[in-house]
Structure 1
Amino acid sequence: MIAQRKDDHVRLAVEQRHEHSGHNQFDEVSFVHHALAGIDRPDVSQATAFAGISWQVPLYINAMTGGSVNTGVINRDLAIAARETGVPIASGSMSAYFKDPSCAHTFSVLREENPDGFVMANINATASVDNARRAIDLLRADALQIHINTVQETVMPEGDRSFAAWVPQIEKIAAAVEVPVIVKEVGFGLSRETVLTLRDLGVSVADLGGRGGTDFARIENGRRELADYAYLHGWGLSTAACLLDAQDAGIPVLASGGVRNPLDVARALALGASGVGVSGGFLRTLMDGGVSALIAQISTWLDQLAALQTMLGARTPAELTRCDLLIHGALHAFCADRGIETRPLAQRSRSFEAPHELTGSTR
């Protein structure tokens, strides 16, 4: 039954990507154009560092799948793409492995095909400390993701209905394992209050996992006989909203959910993300064109992100947080209601100006 569910998730996620309208709240974030802010391409680095983690690039393949024969093949191809492009990669939820160790290879292939890469194991918030360690050991993981997904579990026909133990269990796991712990949402977003709670629990990094990409409420509703939870489609906070909400929360954040192109990556980094994850968009490319198409897509994204950094005058991903941003539409209204000041975002390059330099230069 678990293997069938994993295959259903992939099928429904790919179908959803084909139907996707394309618009999300990243479109309500724009850079102020400063025509003389550009730098030389050889001066651009894409390295990012946070919470004791160092990545060569700020883009990663986020958690997707594993637990069945078909999803094991997908994980193999994702790992090959990660190896060939140098991007970090996360496994899908390893709950299936805890229940049926015979499916271990569908996860361990991530490390076998990518022996020197940065690999993240993924567990749920009910996993025991022993199982957290088993997941890390199986993948020789460099970090541990704990996914939280109350909305998905609520709609899932066989999902959990008890969530009170999640907070103390996350704290217990974070204290017990020897790799950085990343807590991630699966597409409904982490509010500022949640990010602050994670910080206080000893979590190393929050992956905001906002609305805008794959909708797991819709996926699980598609598995229900009556499809009677349609009113929860679109639930949650967008990734852009989460980034604005989590400013100065005292913990590094990663951005995932609804990232469609290199401009969205740059927007997320400019809003404070240390790295940006993609799942559904990369999965669709893999299923439509195979591993070579995915390698080409990731390589193109990294090249174009470097081009955007050059144009914007950002020598590193972190320097994108010096670029001026305008917040529009419903996202601006969200900020107003949450008490988030947006005007300083539109003027922050002035804090980095040297005398006689043009507005917008980050030199």
Structure 2
Amino acid sequence: MPKQTNRKNEHVSLAEKFYDKPFRPPFEDVRFVHHSFPQMAVQDVDLSVSFDGLDFTVPFYINAMTGGSRWTGKVNEKLALVARETGLAIATGSVSAAMKMPEVEDSYKIVREVNPNGLVFANLGAGHGLENAKRAVDLLQADALQIHVNAPQEVVMPEGDRDFTDWISNIEEIVNGLDRPVMVKEVGFGMSRETIRLLRSIGVSIIDISGTGGTDFAQIENYRRKEQKFDDLEGWGQSTAVSLLEAQEFLPEATLIASGGIREPMDIAKSLALGASLTGISSQVLHLVLQEGVDETVTVIEGWKKELARILTLLQSRRPQNLQRTDLIISGDTRDWCDARGIDFRSFASRSTK
């Protein structure tokens, strides 16, 4: 088995292995203020969102995970079935392997074959240029391209990249030359306002801040190392909540996607309230598919839709974007972060009266 193919299998296996690891929920410091009279009905809620020509039936989707081997192709087939049956958009894992090994293309193409009419996003690392971006989109007949940035993962990965000189210029070339929406996403380490400002300066308008709280790829790559462990880099980065707060000054010009530790409808609601237009879910869906199967995963996701509509009703929000006018109390370490970084966390506490 080629090393790259084996690595793809290891990533999925280890993501599942560490699924139940003790972790700090990314939104534990964020609470909604309850107001007693919703003055609306659950049936008044419309969960759909749209941006950049992309229409989503609900404000969450199956985020990038896997592909690149026979086994991960089977996992992608199951994820695509879930996406098709629930109407969710879906992103594949990085198609970098298919750029080097055409024999693994089918492990990605299966997503489009199973889900011919759904929203499908290709995914590629920032080390690739425009030509590979076009190849990735063509491979999947993709509706958009995700470009992932993952420097902490690469420096811990035994066979990872060590030169990140061209990442920004590559992204700029792709944004200017690709005829599809381009999303730039972290892989679970979060983003700072400086990072977002840099992305905005090269024309990136859709940004997945992907914070800590979910899969920790530094932990996964550290586990794969045979020597010279990098324990200090496990847990590196900012939480999803902190990353969204860092991004406030770029709203509404930038479209924010929130991922990283989102496991339930309340996490989705809090992400939307902090400025996200969409949320991505990875490890929770992967865990369900591997442990419970496709049918049970579909049942769970349909339940999430119903629960999210009820949460929006309690928060007097007919549409997901209305959650940005709800009142939030920010406390604990997240409040301390805001205080240190000059982010006005108090302004969130009484937004509904403005």
Between 220-229 and 168-177, report the one with greater CA deviation. Answer: 220-229
Aligned to 2:46: 45
Aligned to 1:252: 255
Between 180-189 and 298-307, report the one with greater CA deviation. Answer: 298-307
Counterparts of 1:328 and 1:252, CA distance in 2: 25
Counterparts of 2:317 and 2:271, CA distance in 1: 14
Opposite residue 353 of structure 2, the aligned amino acid is: R
Aligned to 1:277: 280
Matched-pair contact (CA < 8 Å) for 2:31–2:328: yes
User: Residues 16-31 of structure 1 correspond to what in structure 2 (within 5 A)?
Assistant: 16-18=18-20, 20-21=21-22, 23-31=24-32
Aligned to 1:105: 106
1:230-277: CA deviations, max 9, x gaps? 111100000000001101313111000011211000000000100011
Matched-pair contact (CA < 8 Å) for 1:108–1:139: yes
1:35-82: CA deviations, max 9, x gaps? 113521111000112233221110110000000000000000000100
Matched-pair contact (CA < 8 Å) for 1:121–1:145: yes
1:266-306: CA deviations, max 9, x gaps? 00000010001111111111111111121112111111101
Aligned to 1:211: 212
Counterparts of 1:72 and 1:131, CA distance in 2: 21
Opposite residue 12 of structure 1, the aligned amino acid is: L
Opposite residue 144 of structure 2, the aligned amino acid is: A
Opposite residue 18 of structure 2, the aligned amino acid is: Q
Between 307-316 and 21-30, report the one with greater CA deviation. Answer: 21-30
1:115-171: CA deviations, max 9, x gaps? 111110000111121111011011111110000000000000000000011001100
What is the root-mean-square deviation in Å for CA atoms of aligned residues?
1.0
Shift of 1:23: 3.3
User: Residues 1-363 of structure 1 correspond to what in structure 2 (within 5 A)?
Assistant: 1-18=3-20, 20-21=21-22, 23-226=24-227, 228-249=229-250, 250-351=253-354
Q: TM-score normalized by structure 2?
A: 0.97
Counterparts of 2:23 and 2:34, CA distance in 1: 24
Counterparts of 2:135 and 2:39, CA distance in 1: 48
Matched-pair contact (CA < 8 Å) for 1:51–1:204: no
Matched-pair contact (CA < 8 Å) for 1:38–1:312: no
| Paired residue secondary structure (2:35) | coil
Aligned residues: 350
Aligned-residue sequence identity (percent) comes to 47
Unpaired segments ≥5 residues, structure 2: none
Counterparts of 1:51 and 1:139, CA distance in 2: 19
Matched-pair contact (CA < 8 Å) for 1:85–1:299: yes
| Paired residue secondary structure (1:49) | strand
Counterparts of 2:236 and 2:33, CA distance in 1: 30
Q: TM-score normalized by structure 1?
A: 0.95
Shift of 1:227: 5.7
